[in-house]
């Protein structure tokens, strides 16, 4: 969550920053007023507790002096003050809960470098990459056999069975078959091997407690997009970012430990409640997909390099796979709730003639660490870590772009050589 101390110290700065994200001034003013009320009530409750403590001391003195009448009078006064203190404490807790609830709905302050804008139409394209661009080659020209949508390619080859997936779990839950399933596994193993030089591999649970989901900012704001298991107070994870962020929840790290770099391959589950009827064909938007995530706890000084490293690794994989992609700098209004700065990678998928988002690389500053209470000791004292994460990569749309881009004139798919150690014979043919 945002730094309440900064809001008290620089209300105008915080209000202006949040306005870039479309947060109305009234929402910020309401938090400021609740904070003032909370501190006032806290002072009142503490003053009553101090009076009660002083009365207890005076009761003891009266008893030692054998002044029972004075002792009883003071005890009666203390009981009255105790009831007032109880009421004051309850009121203080209620205001504190209201303040926290409103703070949990406020997004992070955007970084000054984030472009101006309120939606995806204002995102800034930074650059494009395709095979041969470094040697001056023009943007690729795709042949007719590459202009076939991946769901049609997959049906011909028998590698994606959307109908059976829907029979088993409902629409937008894909079922991969044969070489389709093997391709998914090969992509994951390729990525994990590329990251093992610097990132510790983690295999986290696929479910998370409400507190764990709160730590990243997915709850409470995005509850409608998540899959809940209310009986057990659990949620299916929408990304490995959720468990990785909370691995050190409530801990104080040593500065010498940082940065701590982690990677995880998990299934990810998203209801996409607001996307019904939009971009739902094939693998364009699915409720379950596999993803390799990269994550780092770091100091503020290390954050920029950590962010750049994750972005470079994601781009490196796309280049190894030979996929055309572009880099987008997300504007302030299109940032995720917890993000201060996000760079998106989108691959070009010729069969559907669209750019598909396959990675978001985000720097959260100390927003998530405040919610998860992850700090570190430094020469300046104890302070919150910064968190950085990104996909390297999310596979459903990569899978789609690969089978379209590498479809051959004879309707087979010839995969890039980098997958040979993980896939074997690289040509996907129709299932016999």
- How far is residue 212's CA from residue 340's CA, in Å, rounded to a whole number? 20
Question: Pseudo-torsion of CA 142, 145, 151, 153, nearest 10°?
Answer: -140
Beta bridge partners of 345: 327, 359
Among residues 21, 285, 313, 375, the one annotated as catalytic is 285
For 303-310, the CB contacts below 8 A with 24+ separation are: 303/363, 303/365, 303/386, 303/388, 304/363, 306/259, 306/261, 306/363, 306/386, 306/388, 307/341, 307/343, 307/361, 307/362, 307/363, 307/388, 307/390, 309/198, 310/361, 310/388, 310/389, 310/390, 310/392
Q: Is 270 a catalytic residue?
A: yes
- How far is residue 187's CA from residue 357's CA, in Å, rounded to a whole number? 17
Among residues 270, 271, 313, 341, the one annotated as catalytic is 270
274-303: buried (b, 16+ CB within 10 Å) or exposed (e) per residue? eeeeeeeebbbbbbbbbbbbbbbbbbeebb
Centre a 10 Å sphere on the Cβ of residue 30 and count the other Cβ atoms it contains.
Answer: 14
- How far is residue 32's CA from residue 101's CA, in Å, rounded to a whole number? 13
Q: Is 58 a catalytic residue?
A: no
SS3 277: coil
Closest CA to 1 of 80, 83, 98, 100: 100
Is 156 exposed, middle or buried (CB count within 10 Å of its CB: 0-12, 13-18, 19+)? middle
Among residues 20, 365, 397, 407, the one annotated as catalytic is 397
Q: Is 397 a catalytic residue?
A: yes
Cis amide bond preceding 259, omega within 30: yes
Beta carbons of 393 and 191 less than 8 angstroms apart: yes
Among residues 185, 357, 378, 429, the one annotated as catalytic is 357
- How far is residue 217's CA from residue 2's CA, in Å, rounded to a whole number? 11
Beta carbons of 118 and 391 less than 8 angstroms apart: no
Q: Is 285 a catalytic residue?
A: yes
Beta carbons of 74 and 59 less than 8 angstroms apart: yes
Among residues 215, 338, 339, 360, the one annotated as catalytic is 360
Cα angle: 173, vertex 242, 291; to 5 degrees = 45
- How far is residue 393's CA from residue 131's CA, in Å, rounded to a whole number? 19
Looking at the annotation, which residues are catalytic?
Answer: 270, 285, 357, 360, 397
């Amino acid at each position: 969550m945002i730094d309440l101390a900064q809001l008290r110290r620089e209300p105008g700065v915080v209000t202006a920053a949040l306005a870039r994200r479309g947060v109305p001034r009234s929402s910020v003013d309401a938090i400021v007023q609740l904070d003032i009320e909370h501190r006032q009530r806290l002072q009142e409750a503490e003053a009553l507790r101090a009076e009660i403590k002083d009365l207890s001391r005076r009761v003891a003195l009266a008893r030692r002096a054998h002044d029972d009448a004075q002792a009883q009078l003071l005890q009666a006064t203390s009981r009255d003050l105790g009831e007032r203190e109880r009421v004051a404490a309850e009121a203080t807790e209620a205001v504190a809960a209201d303040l926290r609830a409103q703070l949990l709905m406020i997004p992070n302050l955007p970084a000054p470098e984030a472009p101006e804008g309120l939606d995806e139409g204002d995102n800034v394209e930074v650059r494009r990459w395709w095979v041969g661009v470094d040697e001056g080659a023009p943007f690729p020209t795709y042949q007719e056999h590459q202009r076939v949508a991946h769901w049609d390619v997959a049906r011909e080859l028998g590698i994606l069975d959307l109908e059976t997936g829907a029979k088993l779990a409902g629409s937008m839950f894909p079922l991969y078959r044969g070489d389709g399933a093997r391709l998914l596994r090969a992509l994951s193993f390729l990525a994990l091997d590329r990251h093992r030089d610097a990132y510790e591999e983690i295999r986290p649970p696929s479910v998370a407690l409400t507190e764990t989901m709160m730590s990243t900012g997915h709850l409470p704001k995005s509850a409608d997009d998540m899959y809940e298991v209310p009986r057990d107070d659990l949620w299916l994870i929408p990304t490995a970012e959720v468990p990785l962020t909370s691995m050190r929840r409530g801990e104080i790290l040593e500065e010498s430990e940082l940065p701590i770099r982690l990677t995880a391959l998990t299934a990810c589950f998203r209801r996409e409640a607001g996307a019904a009827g939009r971009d739902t064909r094939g693998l364009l938007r699915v409720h379950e997909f596999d993803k390799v995530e990269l994550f780092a706890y770091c100091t503020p000084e290390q954050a920029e390099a950590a962010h750049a490293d994750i972005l470079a690794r994601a781009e490196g994989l796309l280049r190894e796979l030979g996929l055309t992609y572009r880099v987008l700098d997300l504007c302030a209004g299109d940032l995720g709730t917890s993000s201060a700065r996000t760079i998106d990678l989108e691959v070009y998928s010729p069969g559907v003639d669209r750019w598909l988002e396959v990675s978001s690389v985000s720097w959260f500053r100390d927003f998530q660490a405040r919610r998860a209470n992850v700090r570190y000791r430094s020469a300046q004292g104890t302070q919150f870590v910064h968190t950085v994460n990104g996909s390297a990569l999310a596979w459903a749309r990569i899978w789609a772009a690969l089978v379209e881009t590498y479809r051959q004139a004879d309707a087979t798919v010839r995969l890039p050589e980098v997958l040979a150690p993980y896939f074997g014979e690289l040509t996907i043919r129709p299932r016999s």
